[in-house]
């Protein structure tokens, strides 16, 4: 591995600290494949090229990894991905997929072409093109480039990264002088439970049983138990594009030790109609929050009023005036009832749970009494601390924004001027909802006998306005907006009320 690293074309721009950390990490986590990972630093591989092409297209990439991660890897700033279950499944069952494909289609591996692919010299200026195709086969008299996949859930779609990956290998083959008649993405279609079982146990099957299994799947050939060869059209335009993108990335970023920062910055540019709709929803959000704020106060006031009225009343299991609101005592205070039980003579046997948990502290003390050591590393929980990981990444200048959870956080601005606008809306909401609540109170509606017993419908009306006009007027005349909505509210009173018992 050291010989490979010593000949990296980007060696002069790699920081010594990064190189040392990379080597230590490889030997700690990926020792069995250390040489393979070192060779991947020599250029851009097929699984990485999709991110590179997307970057130069100005598109957001959602494939294997980002272009930033690709370059960080080449500069030894980032360790290779740790093997997850999906990677393990693909690596473990790739040979099964190969055997099923060959058996199903009567294809044979073109060993001469494969050897030429591996031994071919690099084209001048494109030495960064690296990678090993899964297979080159002869099928129905044609030479086909094949890449095998074992997805968790089968589909006949060909992801962009897979398309670029096959074009990457086809380009290397073309540079090597290998004539191809086509390319295929071969997917092994098996139930998730079966792939999980095989991933865990295939090493124990043996070659003979593996061959039998492969022929059985090939013969079965039904959805959920088959291999599917998806043809990928080889496009010269995409081959030219990936060559150009790869060359620019390698020369302008990797060889210069510069990490790209993809993504759009600056003002959010939106279509006029989209921008207007966004402002409308932002305003509705603020108006709804203002209404909720007022209703929360009413709710708490009502809750306090109920508590005060019933504070000295035995109301448990009693019918209250309105059935739509239930009132129950709070749950028992565990600490108080345990204390009282002990005061009345309860023993440990009376109070200890039937299922007992160990006391970690007592176990450690017992280990020490027996002469054991309690500070050994393997005795401690290996769960990593996310806050320490954040500090580590910040110290390395990593932008943590890309690691946020999906979705977004929406809240009202706390800037001084925005708070003032919010207060106007809250005041208006209090007027609107206050009028609605006062109008709907039983005390304002007369005796229950005055209502039609059959009229059980409830018409609700949420007075949240929809902004009209130009965007610049979205927050203009908020008082008038609420006034007009208040007038609308008066035309939609509640028509049914919770009846007294």
Higher pLDDT among residues 251 and 344, named by residue: 251
Banded model confidence at residue 2, pLDDT cuts 50, 70, 90: confident
Higher pLDDT among residues 287 and 226, named by residue: 226
Q: How far is CA 41 from CA 5, 27, 259, in A?
A: 8, 16, 15
Q: Is the pLDDT assigned to residue 470 strictly greater than 50?
A: no
DSSP 500: P
Q: Alpha-carbon distance 486 to 463, whole Å?
A: 7
Asked whether 108 and 138 are in contact (CB, 8 A), the reply is yes
DSSP 143: E
Q: What pLDDT is stored for residue 112 in this prediction?
A: 95
pLDDT above 90: percentage of residues in the chain: 38
Nearest to residue 144, comparing CAs of 95, 181, 175? Answer: 181
Per residue in 293-324, pLDDT (tens digit) is 888 888 888 888 988 888 888 888 888 887 76
| Mean pLDDT, rounded, for 219-228 | 92
Per residue in 357-366, pLDDT (tens digit) is 777 788 778 7
| Mean pLDDT, rounded, for 63-82 | 89
Q: What pLDDT is stored for residue 487 in this prediction?
A: 47
Higher pLDDT among residues 266 and 67, named by residue: 67
Banded model confidence at residue 282, pLDDT cuts 50, 70, 90: confident
> Can you tell me whether residue 379 is helix, strand or coil?
helix
Q: Is the pLDDT assigned to residue 185 strictly greater than 80?
A: yes
Banded model confidence at residue 277, pLDDT cuts 50, 70, 90: confident
Q: What pLDDT is stored for residue 444 in this prediction?
A: 62
Asked whether 321 and 500 are in contact (CB, 8 A), the reply is yes
What does the block give as tokens for 285?
Answer: 């959000």
> Can you tell me whether residue 118 is helix, strand or coil?
helix
Asked whether 112 and 230 are in contact (CB, 8 A), the reply is no
Per residue in 55-70, pLDDT (tens digit) is 988 887 777 788 999 9
Least confident range of 49-63, 84-98, 420-434: 420-434
Q: What pLDDT is stored for residue 381 in this prediction?
A: 66
Q: Alpha-carbon distance 469 to 482, whole Å?
A: 16
Q: Alpha-carbon distance 88 to 202, whole Å?
A: 12
CA angle 107, 169, 22 (to 5 degrees): 125
Q: Alpha-carbon distance 262 to 56, whole Å?
A: 9
Let me know how long the chain is: 501
Q: What pLDDT is stored for residue 445 in this prediction?
A: 56
Q: What is the mean pLDDT of the chain?
A: 81
Q: Alpha-carbon distance 226 to 191, whole Å?
A: 10
Q: Alpha-carbon distance 278 to 450, whole Å?
A: 46
Q: Which helix (H) or strand (E) element contains residue 184?
A: strand 182-189
What does the block give as tokens for 400?
Answer: 């943590």
Banded model confidence at residue 465, pLDDT cuts 50, 70, 90: very low
Q: Give me the sheet containing 135-139, strands edge to edge.
A: 108-109, 135-139, 142-149, 182-189, 226-232
Contacts of 468 (CB under 8 A, 6+ apart): none
- Bridge partners (DSSP) of residue 226 are 189
Q: What is the pTM of this model?
A: 0.58
Asked whether 280 and 287 are in contact (CB, 8 A), the reply is no
Q: Is the pLDDT assigned to residue 461 strictly greater than 60?
A: no
Nearest to residue 92, comparing CAs of 216, 204, 227, 226? Answer: 204
Q: Alpha-carbon distance 357 to 363, whole Å?
A: 11
| Mean pLDDT, rounded, for 274-295 | 84
| Mean pLDDT, rounded, for 3-9 | 91
Per residue in 14-44, pLDDT (tens digit) is 999 999 999 999 998 888 889 999 999 999 9
Asked whether 88 and 100 are in contact (CB, 8 A), the reply is no
Q: Alpha-carbon distance 61 to 205, whole Å?
A: 39
Q: What pLDDT is stored for residue 337 in this prediction?
A: 81
- Bridge partners (DSSP) of residue 147 are 185
Place of tokens 């207060």: 423
Q: Which helix (H) or strand (E) element contains residue 232?
A: strand 226-232
Q: What pLDDT is stored for residue 121 in this prediction?
A: 85
Place of tokens 């050939």: 221
Nearest to residue 244, comparing CAs of 91, 86, 483, 57? Answer: 57
Q: Alpha-carbon distance 285 to 423, whole Å?
A: 14
DSSP 67: H
| Mean pLDDT, rounded, for 444-454 | 50
First-to-last alpha carbon distance for the chain, in angstroms, is 85
Domain ranges of the chain: 2-74, 85-241
Q: What pLDDT is stored for residue 268 in this prediction?
A: 58
Per residue in 196-217, pLDDT (tens digit) is 889 888 888 888 989 999 999 9
Q: Is the pLDDT assigned to residue 491 strictly greater than 50?
A: no
């Amino acid at each position: 591995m050291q010989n490979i690293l010593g000949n990296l074309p980007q060696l002069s721009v790699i920081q010594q600290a990064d190189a040392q950390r990379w080597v230590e990490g490889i030997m700690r986590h990926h020792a069995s494949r250390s040489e393979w990972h070192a060779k991947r630093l020599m250029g851009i591989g097929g699984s990485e090229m999709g991110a590179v092409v997307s970057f130069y297209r100005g598109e957001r990439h959602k494939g294997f990894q980002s272009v930033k991660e690709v370059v960080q890897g080449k500069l030894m700033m980032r360790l290779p991905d740790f093997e997850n279950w999906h990677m393990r499944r693909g690596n473990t069952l790739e040979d099964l997929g190969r055997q099923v494909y060959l058996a199903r289609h009567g294809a044979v591996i073109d060993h001469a072409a494969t050897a030429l692919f591996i031994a071919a010299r690099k084209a001048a200026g494109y030495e960064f093109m690296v990678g090993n195709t899964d297979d080159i086969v002869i099928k129905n008299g044609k030479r086909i480039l094949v890449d095998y996949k074992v997805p968790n859930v089968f589909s006949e779609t060909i992801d962009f990264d897979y398309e670029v990956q096959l074009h990457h290998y086809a380009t290397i083959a073309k540079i090597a002088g290998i004539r191809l008649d086509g390319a295929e993405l071969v997917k092994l279609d098996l139930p998730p439970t079966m792939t999980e079982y095989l991933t865990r146990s295939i090493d124990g099957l043996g070659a003979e049983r593996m061959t039998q299994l492969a022929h059985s799947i090939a013969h079965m050939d039904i959805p959920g138990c088959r291999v599917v060869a998806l043809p990928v059209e080889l496009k010269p335009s995409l081959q030219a594009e990936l060559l150009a993108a790869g060359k620019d990335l390698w020369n302008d970023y990797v060889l210069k030790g510069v990490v790209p920062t993809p993504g759009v910055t600056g003002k959010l540019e939106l279509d006029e109609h989209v921008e207007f709709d966004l402002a409308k929803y932002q305003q509705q959000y603020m108006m709804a929050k203002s209404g909720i704020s007022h209703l929360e106060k009413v709710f708490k006031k009502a809750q306090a009023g109920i508590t005060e009225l019933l504070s000295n009343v035995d109301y448990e299991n009693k019918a209250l005036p309105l059935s739509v609101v239930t009132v129950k005592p709070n749950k028992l205070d565990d600490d108080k009832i345990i204390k009282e039980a002990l005061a009345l003579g309860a023993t440990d046997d009376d109070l200890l749970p039937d299922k007992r948990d160990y006391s970690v502290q007592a176990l450690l003390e017992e280990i020490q009494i027996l002469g054991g050591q309690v500070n050994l590393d393997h005795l401690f929980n290996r769960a990593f601390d996310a806050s320490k990981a954040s500090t580590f990444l910040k110290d390395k200048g990593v932008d943590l924004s890309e690691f946020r959870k999906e979705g977004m956080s929406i809240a009202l601005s706390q800037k001084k001027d925005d708070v003032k606008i919010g207060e106007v809306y809250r005041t208006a909401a209090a007027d609107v909802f206050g009028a609605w609540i006062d109008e709907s109170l039983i005390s304002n509606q007369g005796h229950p006998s005055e209502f039609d017993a059959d009229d059980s419908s409830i018409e609700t009306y949420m007075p949240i306005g929809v902004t009209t006009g130009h965007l610049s007027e979205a927050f203009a005349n908020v008082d008038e907006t609420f006034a007009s909505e208040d007038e609308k509210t008066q035309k939609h009173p509640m028509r049914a009320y919770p009846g007294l018992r």
